A and B are shown apart, each in its own frame.
Chain A
Amino acid sequence: SQKIEQNSEALNIQEGKTATLTCNYTNYSPAYLQWYRQDPGRGPVFLLLIRENEKEKRKERLKVTFDTTLKQSLFHITASQPADSATYLCALDREMDSSYKLIFGSGTRLLVRP
């Protein structure tokens, strides 16, 4: 069966360090991989997207890598800040019937200590 796995344990890091979150998938051939941020009581917010033929994408302090051989994406936040504390979700897009079906992993909670 298709699976998208993210580390269920919270990632706890010191302010200023780089946070690295992992997304692994099996039995899936995504065309796109997306990362979202979710704060308590809110809906997910889109952050960044990477295509299957791209290795790396950057946006300000965020960096995403995509390895279709390993079936893995890494999400990095450099110079992390307490305001970056949230749950981060990866999602895979796969074209189905001329449209795209977005499936989410369970998310990893990030805590950035001041």
Chain B
Amino acid sequence: DARVTQTPRHKVTEMGQEVTMRCQPILGHNTVFWYRQTMMQGLELLAYFRNRAPLDDSGMPKDRFSAEMPDATLATLKIQPSEPRDSAVYFCASGRGQPKYGYTFGSGTRLTVV
């Protein structure tokens, strides 16, 4: 089965450090979402792309977060500088751009900022 690959699976970093999370969407999928999941807030939409163009990143703290798709096989989410409140699981999902097919999620990156 095709899968969405996220790296790293786990990341522990010190407050103030830069963190970069990567996602390889399924080949042929043209829509990519970034979500953050915490116990308190559930799954929050941070940003999404269609055909590599950012369509909405209103859920993302702009001062420290940035999301890009340098090419169709790679999406990145960067936090600089990281803070303890950024500790969460970050998920990437990809899809064909039409919701009738559903979306495929990666296994997530568990980020801990100490």
Interface residues of A (CB under 8 A from B): 31-32, 34, 36, 41-47, 49, 51, 89, 93, 96-97, 99-107
Interface of chain B: mostly helix, strand, loop or mixed: strand
Least CB distance, A27 to chain B, in whole angstroms: 16
Do A100 and B100 have beta carbons less than 8 Å apart?
A: no
Least CB distance, B99 to chain A, in whole angstroms: 4
Interface of chain A: mostly helix, strand, loop or mixed: strand
- Which of B42, B50, B102, B106 contacts A34 (CB under 8 A)? B102
The yes or no answer to B26 lying at the interface (CB within 8 A) is no
Name 12 extra pairs, CB < 8 A, besides A34-B103, A43-B107, A105-B42: A43-B93, A43-B108, A44-B105, A46-B103, A51-B100, A96-B56, A100-B31, A100-B98, A101-B56, A102-B103, A103-B45, A107-B42
Chain B: number of interface residues, binned into ranges: 20 to 34
Residue of B nearest to A95 (CB): B99
Least CB distance, B6 to chain A, in whole angstroms: 8
**4 nearest A-B residue pairs (beta carbon):** A46-B102, A43-B105, A106-B42, A104-B43
Residue of B nearest to A44 (CB): B105
